A = this chain, B = another copy of it.
Amino acid sequence: MDGDGDGTVSGRSGPTRRRDAGATRAALLEAAAALFAEQGYERTTVREVAARAGVNQALLFRYFGSKEELFAEVLAAQNDELLAGPAETLLPRVLADLLRDTDPAWVRRALQAVLRSVGHAGAAELLRERLGAAYGSRLASLSSEPDAELRADLVIAWLFGIGLLRSVVGKRPLADADPDQVTALVLRTARHLLGDPPAAGSGD
């Protein structure tokens, strides 16, 4: 920052931020997750992500290789979070995530990102092969019907539809509804669809 350091000769003035690769990388990841959730993959540009992270866009490519790989890492970083917990608490927890009105931690916004990015193969794959598969097997374990897996899929479809209609589309009255009221209706109806749970201790 000495007097002769204004670098106007070539416009290459070098670093003005303290160097911290880890923080830079985390800032990009968080900015990307937020923007993908708000706008979806297609409408989010790498310049926007870098600006929100407060870094130069070239760093996005240095740390993540491409926009595509950044998206993959955003999804992967949130994958475990979305799959945590046992089957019995799955529905209330996913509903809580979907219905939460205050700004959640970015790690909880994956569903919004993928719902807004369904045209992207990576998002569709996450919905189908990871979330869908994991949610499906857990929800099916709550039903003793012969078509338990199909019923589980219909519940998953409902969850995603709720997220879509409330947060992405903004349809009232669902968009403004009291989360507890929605949750109560959904849990009761899902219970009806799934039927009785398998007997836990009836085996001889």
- A residues near B (Cβ < 8 Å) are 39-40, 42-43, 115-119, 124, 127-128, 132, 136, 147, 149-151, 153-154, 156-162, 164-166, 168-174, 177, 181-182, 185-186, 189, 192-193
Contacts and interface: CB of A to CB of B under 8 A. Distances in A.
A130 to B, nearest CB: 11
Contact of A119 (B116, B128, B170): B116
Given A173-B149, A192-B192, A119 B42 contact: yes
Q: What is the interface of chain A mostly: helix, strand, loop, or mixed? A: helix
B162 A174 contact: no
6 contacts: A40-B118, A118-B164, A150-B181, A153-B172, A158-B158, A161-B162
Given A170-B124, A171-B128, A185 B116 contact: no
The 4 closest A-B pairs by CB, nearest first: A161-B161, A157-B161, A153-B174, A40-B119
Contact of A154 (B43, B157, B186, B192): B186
A151 B181 CA distance: 10
Given A42-B43, A164-B160, A192-B189, A153 B128 contact: no
B173 A165 contact: no
A117 B149 CA distance: 28
Given A127-B165, A136-B171, A151-B185, 20 more contacts: A42-B119, A118-B164, A118-B168, A118-B169, A119-B168, A124-B168, A127-B169, A128-B171, A132-B165, A150-B177, A150-B182, A153-B172, A154-B162, A154-B189, A157-B166, A158-B158, A158-B161, A164-B164, A189-B192, A192-B192
